[in-house]
Amino acid sequence: MTTKPAPEKRRVVPDSIMLPDSPVRGKIWYQIYARLARPTLDWVGVAAASWSLFLGDLFDKPMDDGTRIIVLGFVGALYSIRTAEKVKGVA
């Protein structure tokens, strides 16, 4: 006797993704963080990574290796946290 595999359930993807309704999202400190500090950190991270990887060498003002490791570690941590939040559906 053979058994048939269970049919796969397909997940319906809506046209727009609804964000989870959390009471934290209504707090003013979260709004300031989400709308001001976080994008600023993103742009500072992009600028720092750009300088440490190629702009510093282009303008003959490179970072030393220790500073470069710290900057790239910060940028990597920042974007890994952001990626984890996107995977969980929080961001």
SS (H, E, C) the chain: CCCCCCCCCCCCCCCCCCCCCCHHHHCHHHHHHHHHHHHHHHHHHHHHHHHHHHHHHHCCCCCCHHHHHHHHHHHHHHHHHHHHHHHHCCC
Per the structure, how many domains does the chain have?
Answer: 1
Asked whether the predicted pLDDT for residue 84 surpasses 60, the reply is yes
Q: What is the pTM of this model?
A: 0.58
Q: Name the band, by pLDDT with cuts 50, 70 and 90, for residue 82.
A: confident
Residue 70, domain extent: 41-91
The verdict on residue 1 lying in a domain is: no
The verdict on residue 54 lying in a domain is: yes
Give the residue from 20, 23, 70, 22 showing the smallest Cα distance to 45: 70
Q: What is the pLDDT of residue 16?
A: 55
The verdict on residue 49 lying in a domain is: yes
Among the listed ranges 5-14, 41-50, 80-89, which one has the minimum average pLDDT value?
A: 5-14
The verdict on residue 68 lying in a domain is: yes
The verdict on residue 51 lying in a domain is: yes
Q: Name the band, by pLDDT with cuts 50, 70 and 90, for residue 69.
A: very high
The verdict on residue 10 lying in a domain is: no
The verdict on residue 59 lying in a domain is: yes
Tokens representing 1 are: 């006797």
The verdict on residue 16 lying in a domain is: no
Whole-number Cα distances in Å, 40 to 24, 28, 30, 37? 21, 17, 15, 5
